[in-house]
Amino acid sequence: MSKTSKELLNELVAKHYEDAAQAKKDGKLVAWATSICPQELLEAMDITVVYPENHAAAIAARKHSQEFLDQSEGCGYSIDICSYARVNMGYKDIQYSEAANIPMPDMVFCCNNICTTVAKWYENLATELNIPFILIDTPFNHIYDAPAHNIEYMRNQIEHAIHQIEEICGRPYDYERLTEVMKISNETAYWWRRACFTAQAMPSPLSGFDMFNYMALVVCIRGKKEGRDLFKLWCEELEAKAAEGKGPWKEGEEEKYRVIWDGIACWANLSPTYKILKKYGINVVTSLYPDAWTILYETNDIEGMAKAYTYYHANRNVDYVAATKSQRVKDFNVDGVIFHSNRSCKLMDFTIYEQQRRITAETGVPTVVFDGDMTDPRIFSEAQYETRIQALVEMMEENKKKKAQEGK
């Protein structure tokens, strides 16, 4: 019998870490890279790429992040700095975790389309480890569409990065292989998005927390064939489930409310955040993550690639983000929105109140904010989380009653 996507997912995650360790042993180059960077450039030159954010999340999900937070805080990194950065800066020193391990890097590759902290974080890594630092500096899109001069700026940097990679590898760039990796990356992006969008069905065949699991891999193996094949398989499974009218959980467990989860998961508190939602029959049907790795462009179109990377949602203005979320509310029949006010992520927190205001004005659905963190377990309070979630349920229930009365 062929494997399910879940079995394959677990195998591939394990393989990702094993392969990286083996590559290091074999003397291959290893890069540490940010989660939504043009990894195609590295992959094409056979550089092993691992992702500190992903690794930090894996460590936190297995409840091992505190040790690394303590280490970096002991070195003087403030608790107000991103906890992914703190876990990784701690890992740089300790270099071992029971949870998961990544080989030490020969270079760091940073694209600050995801946040501004990464530029300093990676600069520190490069300085302390005395290794090359490749930066794709991505201007924030203050206006709705990226202006041509920004795209040109990024295109020039991508070309410069290619030269840097040639120098590090000591051989000419493999443009043929780049074409191939670009093609695979785009196919992976296509299947990832299509799979996530099966949650439009009612009930959704997809549980949002399952999506978080698969997300771990879309970060790591977007440019590899086995990644593309996994997401295609996952999508086919979900489409089959939807066709049979199956929901996200076991039979008899009803999807009562459909919500958007805004922001990063609380990896360090994954179990209570999930269980409390499930207790009230709340399924996270979507977020902006489906599009985070939907990096689509024509193969060999460097400007298209630049544009795709600059359009990551956290790099776009409030008009775009609010309009996109409101559209998701409508497209996914969403009953409410949960905002994770993430102590680590000032960029995401900054517009929460305005997002709330606009989404409610546009769609009428209630929203709620809770305090937490992605990898620092000290920030989250289970009781406070449950009160806010239950209050959201009560508001969603009132809305449903109102709608039912209007419908009569």
The nearest distance, CB 391 to other proteins, in angstroms, is 4
Nearest-10 Cα torsion for 211, 214, 216, 221: -140
**Between 158 and 337, CB nearer to other proteins:** 337
Helix, strand, coil % (nearest 5) of the chain?
Answer: 60, 10, 30
Order of strands, sheet of 257-262, starting from the edge strand that comes earlier in the sequence: 282-286, 257-262, 336-342, 367-372
Contact 204, 246 (CB under 8 A): no
Helix (H, G, I), strand (E, B) or coil at 337: strand
**Between 6 and 256, CB nearer to other proteins:** 256
The nearest distance, CB 371 to other proteins, in angstroms, is 5
**Between 160 and 279, CB nearer to other proteins:** 279
The nearest distance, CB 73 to other proteins, in angstroms, is 18
The nearest distance, CB 325 to other proteins, in angstroms, is 16
In the numeric block, which tokens belong to residue 82?
A: 């991103």
Contact 26, 106 (CB under 8 A): no
Q: Which strand (E) or helix (H) includes residue 6?
A: helix 5-25
**HSE-CB of 31 using CA atoms within 13 angstroms:** 29
Instruction: Provide the β-strand partners of residue 30.
Output: 48
The nearest distance, CB 266 to other proteins, in angstroms, is 13
Residue with tokens 């902006």: 288
In the numeric block, which tokens belong to residue 43?
A: 């992959």
CA atoms 219, 97, 210, 286: torsion sign: negative
Q: Which residues bind other proteins (CB under 8 A)?
A: 341, 353, 356, 360, 366-367, 369, 371, 379-381, 383-384, 386-388, 390-391, 394-395, 398
297/185 Cα distance (integer angstroms): 10
Q: Where are the alpha helices (DSSP H) in 171-224?
A: 175-196, 208-220
377/347 Cα distance (integer angstroms): 20
294/35 Cα distance (integer angstroms): 13
**Between 199 and 282, CB nearer to other proteins:** 282
Helix (H, G, I), strand (E, B) or coil at 267: helix
**Between 184 and 389, CB nearer to other proteins:** 389
**Between 60 and 146, CB nearer to other proteins:** 60
**Between 46 and 394, CB nearer to other proteins:** 394
The nearest distance, CB 387 to other proteins, in angstroms, is 5
**Between 286 and 367, CB nearer to other proteins:** 367
The nearest distance, CB 279 to other proteins, in angstroms, is 10
**Between 1 and 383, CB nearer to other proteins:** 383
The nearest distance, CB 405 to other proteins, in angstroms, is 12
Helix (H, G, I), strand (E, B) or coil at 146: coil
The nearest distance, CB 359 to other proteins, in angstroms, is 11
**Between 208 and 366, CB nearer to other proteins:** 366
In the numeric block, which tokens belong to residue 209?
A: 């927390």
The nearest distance, CB 44 to other proteins, in angstroms, is 45
φ and ψ at 283, to 5 degrees?
-115, 135
